[in-house]
Amino acid sequence: MIGQNRGQEQVFRRFFASLAENPITTMFVAINVAMFVVLSFTGGSNDATNLYRWGAKFGPAIQDGDWYRLFSPVVLHSGWMHIAANTFALVIFGPRLERDFGWLAFLATYVVSGVCGVAASYLVSPALSVGASGAIFGIVGAYGIYLVRNRNDFGVSVNPLILNLAIVLVINIFFGILIPGIDQGAHVGGLIAGITIGWALSPKRVVTIEDDFFIFGNPIVRTRFKRVSNKTIIVSASIGLFIALAVSWWVSNVIDYDHATMGIYGFYELATS
């Protein structure tokens, strides 16, 4: 029993240490939990009307001008299992990306992937949806492409990790197809966005040679992974958000929703006015 308690204590210490060392990951975890508490005390996180009230994605609402709904769904979750699964994935993968890419690149990857996930969901379905899944898929995709791009420098030991990431993504997408109610559009959209921006923001291997070997003998060769500039991060994030907004603008001006969907929209508006 003592050994078990010590083991649990070490797990909690590592968990909180990881959060303390990665402030952006901690910030997103805190925001998601805080919003879940708000939902729970204002009507419930499983109540569709309450989710709509707090900014859930719903096609007709975005079409009618609620553009903030491209951002707000990323911090909302429906039910304990939903937030627990996304928080677990964020705590597992977030610190890795934040540590290797830097806080600003991680922030850009998470936000762009989340918004692109919502835009993709808006493209394929008007249905009400919430969750950080698009952002989570995005950071997993970004970390995966970072490993792939630098696999020759990391060595063969990184190959099993790349394979594990690929298996995790395939399994999640597969179950997303089989299980009703899962927003597959957000998953795939966030993943594509994460892979794309991850390619642009991945740290790259840099080799430097120190000492003049003609004078001091053999040179000192140092290898490090150089992060991209803040300018590159801002430009990449701006392009990603522009694409999400352009897709959403196209949907808003081309798609016509049926009477049933518009009836639901009218009910939500009436119930939350």
Provide the token pair at 111: 């936000």
Establish whether 77 is a catalytic residue.
Answer: no
Asked if 108 and 197 touch (Cβ cutoff 8 Å), the reply is yes
Provide the token pair at 48: 């569709």
* Rounded Cα gap, residues 137 and 190, in angstroms: 6
DSSP letter for 257, please: -
Three-state DSSP state, 224: strand
CA quadruple 33, 199, 92, 173: dihedral, nearest 10? 80
CB-CB neighbours of 101 under 10 Å: 25
* Rounded Cα gap, residues 140 and 7, in angstroms: 28
Establish whether 259 is a catalytic residue.
Answer: no
List, in order, residues 6 or more apart from 71 with CB less than 8 Å away: 55, 114, 115, 118
Alpha-carbon torsion (184, 79, 104, 209), positive or negative: negative
CA quadruple 34, 35, 40, 46: dihedral, nearest 10? -140
* Rounded Cα gap, residues 61 and 262, in angstroms: 9
Q: 187, 202, 236, 248: which one is catalytic?
A: 187
Q: 18, 45, 133, 202: which one is catalytic?
A: 133
* Rounded Cα gap, residues 57 and 47, in angstroms: 14
Annotated catalytic residues are: 133, 187
